[in-house]
Amino acid sequence: MHKQSCFTKGMTPAAGIDAGNIPAPEAGNLSRAGNLFQLLRDGRARTRAELAETTGLARSTVAARIDALVGSGLVGPAGEANSTGGRPPSRVAFNPAARVVLAVDVGATHVIVAVTDLGGNVLAERRLRQEVADGPDVVLGRVVSAGRELLTEAGREPGELAGMGIGLPGPVEHASGKPVKPPIMPGWDGFDVVTYVQRSLPVPVLVDNDVNIMALGERTAYWPDHENFLFVKVATGIGAGIISSGELQRGANGTAGDLGHVRVPRGDDVLCRCGNHGCLEALASGPAVARQLQSQGLEASTGADVLRLVSEGNVQAVQALRQAGRDVGDVLATVVNLLNPSMIIIGGSVGEAGEHLVAGIREVVYGRSLPLATTHLRIGISMAGQRAAILGASHMVTQYVLSPAVIEATLQAAG
Rounded to an integer, what distance in angstroms lies between the CA atom of residue 353 and that of residue 277? 27
Domains 98-210+389-399 and 215-385 share a fold: yes
Closest Cα partner for 377 from 368, 366, 367? 366
Check if the beta carbon of residue 203 is closer than 8 Å to that of residue 410: no
Average pLDDT over residues 269-291: 92
Lowest mean pLDDT among 204-213, 325-334, 401-410: 401-410
Q: What is the mean pLDDT of residues 292-320?
A: 94
CA torsion angle for 209, 210, 212, 216 (degrees, to 10)? 140
Torsion angle in degrees (nearest 10) through CA of 131, 132, 138, 142: 80
DSSP code at position 302:
S
Side-chain half-sphere CA neighbours of 368 within 13 A:
19
Residue 120 clears pLDDT 90, i.e. is over it:
yes
What confidence tens digit (pLDDT) does each residue in 158-196 have? Answer: 999 999 999 999 899 988 999 998 888 999 999 999 999
Give Cα 90 to chain centroid, integer Å: 36
Question: Where is average pLDDT lowest: 8-22, 157-171, 306-320, 401-415?
Answer: 8-22
Instruction: Spell out the CATH class of 215-385.
Output: alpha beta
Q: Where are the domains of the chain?
A: 31-95, 98-210+389-399, 215-385
Instruction: Fill in the DSSP letter of residue 326.
Output: H
pLDDT tens digits, one per residue of 227-243: 999 999 999 889 999 99
Q: Give the chain's mean pLDDT.
A: 89
Which sign does the torsion angle of CA 399, 401, 406, 407 carry?
A: negative
Task: Could you please state the CATH topology (level 3) that the domain comprising 98-210+389-399 is classified under.
Answer: Nucleotidyltransferase; domain 5 (3.30.420)
Q: Is the pTM of this model over 0.75?
A: yes
Topology (CATH) of 31-95: Arc Repressor Mutant, subunit A (1.10.10)
pLDDT score recorded for residue 389? 96
Q: 96, 99, 101, 93: which is closest to 119 by C-alpha?
A: 96
Q: Is the pLDDT of residue 135 over 80?
A: yes
Q: How far apart are CA 321 and CA 155, in angstroms?
A: 44
Q: Which long-range contacts does 52-59 make (Cβ < 8 Å, 24+ apart)?
A: 55/27, 55/30, 55/31, 56/30, 57/30, 57/31
